[in-house]
Amino acid sequence: VEIVLLLSFLNARTARATAQLALARQDRLVRGLAQRDALLQEARQDLARALDVAGVGRFSDTSVGSFQLGNVIGRGAMGEVYEAFHAQTRKEAAVKLLHAHSLRERGVVKRFVREAKMAASLDTPNVVRVLEVGGLEREGDLPYIAMERLRGEDLAERLRRQGRMEMVEVVAMLVQVGRGLMAARAAGIVHRD
């Protein structure tokens, strides 16, 4: 009886260890599949966004303030961002304009104007620099914010390329973001994005 109990115990222990290994392997596979699904979904969203941006916008090849507008480089809930260059200096810029439907909503225009004025008041290397704000003088003018044109990759692109970031990189990035948020807070701006 004792030998049978001992063999049963050893058999159960081996079965338990095998089951734990199988569960750990399954957990790794499920996590890997979930990560791939998330990356695929993100890639689909990026593709949809890229197809939506698709170059030419309704204000492409026109002038706004001191800037000549080019292709659309981004779209959001409130408006579009165009690549641009200064008419005299030919320096690159990014110009944000409101959507046509947003121009009809007084509250949205007021928020855009407030955003433009607050962004122009910030002077820190951690926040995009505002070059010019205009279209606010007369009723019916097209409000715009001209900002420095930045090039690089966003966090999603970096994570797709690299997979993971080292802790030192994450801390350095968070310090830079924190400095930008502190400058905004010192100016009385509440960042909502």
Mean pLDDT of 149-175: 90
Give the model's pLDDT for residue 49. 63
Q: Which residue in this structure is represented by tokens 């097209």? A: 142
Give the model's pLDDT for residue 192. 64
Compute the distance between CA of residue 56 and CA of residue 5 in angstroms, rounded to an integer. Answer: 79
Give 53's contacts (C-beta < 8 A, 6+ positions apart): 72, 73, 74, 75
**Structure tokens that stand for 34 in this block:** 């979930």
Residue 98 has what DSSP assignment? E
Compute the distance between CA of residue 12 and CA of residue 6 in angstroms, rounded to an integer. Answer: 10
Give 164's contacts (C-beta < 8 A, 6+ positions apart): none
Task: Note the pLDDT tens digit of each residue in 68-119.
Answer: 999 988 887 778 899 999 999 999 999 998 887 777 777 877 787 777 788 8
Give the model's pLDDT for residue 50. 60
Q: Which are the catalytic amino acids?
A: 193
134 near 144, Cβ under 8 Å? yes
Give the model's pLDDT for residue 193. 58
> Taking all residues of the chain, what is their mean pLDDT, rounded to a whole number?
86
- Outline where DSSP puts E strands in the chain: 63-64, 67-75, 79-86, 92-98, 130-134, 144-148
- What are the backbone angles phi and psi of residue 175, rounded to the nearest 5°? -60, -45
The CA R_g of the chain, rounded to the nearest whole Å, is 27
